[in-house]
Chain A
Amino acid sequence: MSPTEAIPLLIVVLLMISIGGGDVQDMSVTFEGDNDVEALADVHVVAGGTTTVPENAAVDGDIYVIGGTAAIDGTVDGDVTLLNGNISVSDGATVTGAVQTYSGSASVSPDASVGRVSQFEAPTPSSSPAQRVGGFLLQFLVLGAFGWWLVKRHPLLFENVGAAVTDHALVSGVVGSLGATTLLVLFVYMAFTLILLPLAIVGLFAEFLVILYGQAVFGYLIGTRLPIERDGVATLAGIAVFLLVLELFGIVPYLGGIAQLAVAVVGFGAVLNTYFGLQRFEPVTIPGGT
């Protein structure tokens, strides 16, 4: 695992420790090789290789696995969390806290003593039609309320961003993809400094809100093409159609995902290019054409 690959998962670990009130200053990480541990720092992260708590050893602290293997043969007085890689808790081993699995492969022997075993189940959108409809309605309500409010109070904002989407889709796409990627990398590295972690979380949330703003604009644009006179209702209907189309994209493998991504970056770029709709985007005029 290279540093660039390890960084996102290490940040997740840092976030989990911070949220749990732990001390991130006292943390150790192993990246490769076979390591037997007789004592632990408050938090130990396994990013590669194999880390073993031997049969007769008793260690005090939490273990996070983001790559490689953690083999618990002795006693861990704390939690064991698996984000990626493997863990095995063998016969006679003890984990006083919880063994939590988010992703990766966990093997817990029935003869081991474990405080609690939990398995994170990612929500599957296709699990039931009712859940899917519920999720869709929630999205529609949030986006629809925002769209309704904005088109009633500040219709010019939507007009300006909409014009950037329709008249300058390529430019919006380029600026959107550059801006979103650059900011994403920046926020991840800001998070890694720990000092800027709160700012990074706010920044990532703001990026998400800008994408939602872009989606509302797409809904507004569809609404203007529907035979509905009242702006608010047309925008609501447009947003419903847009979300439905996005859902349909999701059914198509690969191309559907690419289309969803393209819509997100074009919307993101259009919002940035127009200063959130405060100014109409006009590209520079280059003289000397034929």
Chain B
Amino acid sequence: MEFLQHVRQRRWTTVSGYLLFTALMVAGYYYNITFVQLGLIDLGTRLVGLSETDVSMWMAALALVTLIVAAVTGVTMDRRGWSTTLRTKLRLLFGVVCLQFALTLVAPMIRTVPAFGAWIVFASIGLGVGFPVSFSLAIDLVPVPDRGYVAAAITAIAYFLANAIPLSWSVDVFSQLMVAAMAPGILVLAVLSFASFDRLDAVLDVLGTRHETYGTGRFCHDTQVQARSLAFAVPVVLMFGVFFIDSLGFLRIIDTPSLLLSSWQSPDLSTRLFIAVAHVVGAVMAGVIYANYSLSRVFLWTFALFALTHVMYTSDLRIEAVFPTIAGSGTSPLNPALYAIAVSFYTTLNFALWPDLSTPETVGTHSAIGIGVAGWLATFSSTALALYFQAADLTLLSHLNVVQALSLLLLFGLAVGLYAKRMVELARETGGANA
């Protein structure tokens, strides 16, 4: 890990880059997994009075608009050269955080559907501009060999805080906490974006030229990775699959009180801490594997973990179907803990992958397409499918059975794909079979 060398050799400018990137990403991701994913459901159902189905449709719309805004932002960043200008990116981020601060402040006051819709549109703009900008900061602030470890740290801290701090999943609570946390963040970003004094300018000048060293991602040294090349499209498709499986399964799990109250919303702090620690362990494991193995190995582990998790969930449900008296006794914390490890695995991968598939000239576009298609479009599609399942009155077991089938299919498909790829390589090398 290069970070330790930088600390030992007192390269504080470089160290500050690591810390700034980690802090910004932790804050952004924590906001996303709490306020956006959970607070919005409470806002729509409890305060505005919409049905869960209507709120899900609005959230799907948020995902789609975010994808469009992100794509426009990413392409604009690369074309205008903003991707390689640190100050510009910090200023854009400052604008995004100001918008999100205002939206967070007014969220608990929303009572009508049009206001809710307008809130969704503005939130989409903030998110759509925010994530290509924040991901592109990796080329200025994080050395390539350490991206896996930094991604692991971001995932571990964000999920630990989200699970260990016992917050009610209510928009009022989230709003109060976020406003208090964002206020000092806005101040820091304002200083970084607009203030000018010798020491700060010197640090930002050094960090602003680092894209020349850190800019070319891990997977772009030997091959030219374009948005339309297979080297980029395959990871996008695989990540889409992971996000889709996670979202489709989790939407149903959080909609099932017996599963939710014995895990993520358990009144027992030790259960929540157990899940929080599982997230940290999963993130560390993913960071180590990302830094020491090929990309295919990380994907294989991710799919294997998801497949195993859903095998465990569906096995429990099948046993409950055979022995109905066992139903309602809750679930073991082992299932959500394994789920947490799987989620941490792919989240870590998501933070490291897109900058590593980019150069300074493509980081805006690739981050936008990668996270937009894999993350937001997958969320949009899985929400739509979950709504269809709900309309079709699909049982919990049938729903999770579909998720299990998809995860096993992806695991099998990836294994076959890797094997076939190796066969093609061998055939090309030898021009035919060797004795």
Contact = CB atoms under 8 A, between A and B. Distances in A.
B78 interface: no
Interface stretch (B186-194, B290-298, B384-392): B290-298
Contacts of B143: 288-290
Contacts, number: 97
Nearest to B5: A290
Interface string B346-377: 00000000000000000000000000000000
Interface in B316-374: 316, 319-320, 323, 325-326, 329-332, 334-335, 338
A38 B329 CA distance: 27
Interface in A1-36: 1-7, 29-33
Interface string A158-179: 0000000000101100110110
A289 B214 CA distance: 7
Contacts of B315: 3, 7, 189, 192
Interface stretch (B36-44, B281-289, B394-402): B281-289
B330 A2 contact: yes
B304 A30 contact: no
Interface stretch (A126-134, A226-234, A279-287): A279-287
B311 to A, nearest CB: 6
B308 interface: yes
A41 B285 CA distance: 47
B325 A4 contact: no
B51 interface: no
B312 interface: yes
Interface in B134-148: 143-145
Contacts of B320: 3
A192 B312 CA distance: 12
Contact of B291 (A30, A47, A286): A286
Nearest to B320: A3
Contacts of A56: none
Contacts of B311: 189
B218 A288 contact: yes
B294 A4 contact: no
Interface in B1-41: 2, 6, 14
Nearest to A168: B292
A248 interface: no
B250 interface: no
Given A2-B330, A5-B332, A185 B312 contact: yes
B221 interface: yes
Contacts of B301: 178
Given A170-B288, A289-B2, A7 B308 contact: no
A189 B309 CA distance: 12
B216 interface: yes
Contacts of B289: 171, 174-175
Contact of B326 (A6, A171, A174, A186): A6
Contact of B145 (A7, A48, A288): A288
Interface of B is mostly: helix
Nearest to B331: A2
B286 to A, nearest CB: 9
B147 to A, nearest CB: 8
A4 B2 contact: no
A189 B329 CA distance: 20
Contact of B294 (A174, A185, A284, A287): A284
B213 interface: yes
Interface of A: 1-7, 29-33, 47-49, 168, 170-171, 174-175, 177-178, 182, 185-186, 189, 192, 283-284, 286-290
Given A4-B331, A174-B288, 10 more contacts: A2-B316, A3-B326, A5-B332, A31-B329, A48-B329, A189-B312, A287-B216, A288-B213, A288-B221, A290-B213
In the A-B complex, the 5 residue pairs with the smallest Cβ-Cβ separation, listed nearest first, are A4-B332, A288-B144, A283-B292, A3-B316, A3-B319
24 contacts: A2-B326, A2-B331, A3-B316, A4-B316, A4-B331, A31-B325, A32-B329, A33-B325, A170-B288, A174-B289, A178-B301, A182-B308, A185-B308, A186-B308, A189-B311, A192-B315, A283-B291, A286-B144, A286-B145, A287-B216, A288-B213, A288-B218, A288-B221, A290-B2
Interface of B: 2, 6, 14, 143-145, 213-214, 216-218, 221, 262, 284-285, 288-289, 291-294, 301, 304-305, 308, 311-312, 315-316, 319-320, 323, 325-326, 329-332, 334-335, 338
